[in-house]
Amino acid sequence: MEISLFNRFKIVLAEKEKTGTQLSKQIRYDIGTITRWMSNIIQPFVGQLYDIAKQLDVDVKELLVSSK
């Protein structure tokens, strides 16, 4: 089964030179959840996207794969 790419968390974290573990500690979510987000297995809720964007100092749009 192919996993659809909806988010760019792994890419943005690499660009910001941060790890999933660092993000997990900053936004206080379980590392397992962060890992599943980074793998596109599950997707965060809208409010969580804003928390992540704030911590990474990026626009929310940068965390998502464009639909066009």
Residue 68 has pLDDT above 90, yes or no: no
In words, the CATH class of domain 9-57 is: mainly alpha
Taking alpha carbons only, the member of 7, 19, 18, 14 closest to residue 48 is: 7
pLDDT above 90 (res 66): no
Annotated domain spans of the chain: 9-57
> What is the tens place of the pLDDT at every residue in 22-65?
999 999 999 999 999 999 999 999 999 999 999 999 999 999 99
- What mean pLDDT is predicted for residues 12-22? 95
In this prediction, residue 2 carries a pLDDT of 66
Residue 1 has pLDDT above 80, yes or no: no
Contact of 55 with 27, CB cutoff 8 Å = yes
pLDDT value at residue 31: 95
